[in-house]
Amino acid sequence: MTLKDLTAHLVPPLHIPYAGTTYEVQPPSKDTGLKLAAINAAGVATYASVIQACPTCGHSGSPELPNSTRELLESMGEAEVAPLALGQDVYDQMLADRVPGPHIDKFGLYALYYWTLGEATADAIFEAQLTGGGASGEAAVSGRTSTPRPGPRTASANPTRRVSTRATGALRRR
């Protein structure tokens, strides 16, 4: 039997530089990844419920969440995104280093998108927020792949509001 080295296909850690320190965020566990996917899907469903039609696919209305996704979200209660997406160790280190709360939340939100949608999509979402293209969906259709590439990853520090699982709303159907 030939053993195959698949390490080149694995998602590398996300590196977040801030104020002279670089925080290394490891990929989430399977359980945490499922929670992040549920939070992201809830946000997508909430967004879909307030727009006339998706600028990318043309669909409208609010997608239904599978019962398993609803149950997972309910079991999480008021869990914050940042500790889940960054990992409790990195989150605690940022608190100890006195990184401002809005910055930590922004880093956590970027990590959520990075782990659930890929680097290119996370970058496109953040760029759309900076340029005001978020509601049109134009920035997300960049032609780039959302598959993370090998090598170090970085995120930027822009202030954002606190994100919790209660503020978002639905998962995609399988």
Furthest CA-CA distance within the chain: 55
Give backbone dihedrals phi and psi of 156, rounded to 5 degrees, phi first: -100, 170
Q: Is residue 22 part of a domain?
A: no
Q: Which domain holds residue 107?
A: 28-167
pLDDT in tens, 103-121: 999 999 999 999 999 999 9
Q: Is residue 6 part of a domain?
A: no
Reported residue count of the chain is: 174
- The residues pairing with 24 across neighbouring beta strands, listed in sequence order, are 15
Domain total of the chain = 1
**What pLDDT band is residue 132 in, cutting at 50, 70 and 90?**
confident
Q: 81 or 145: whose pLDDT is higher? A: 81
Report how far residue 32's alpha carbon sits from residue 97's, in angstroms, rounded to the nearest whole number.
24
Q: Is the pLDDT confidence value at 127 over 90?
A: yes
Token pair for 92: 């605690």
Any residues with CB less than 8 A from the CB of 65 and at least 6 apart, and which? 41, 42, 45, 73, 169, 170, 171
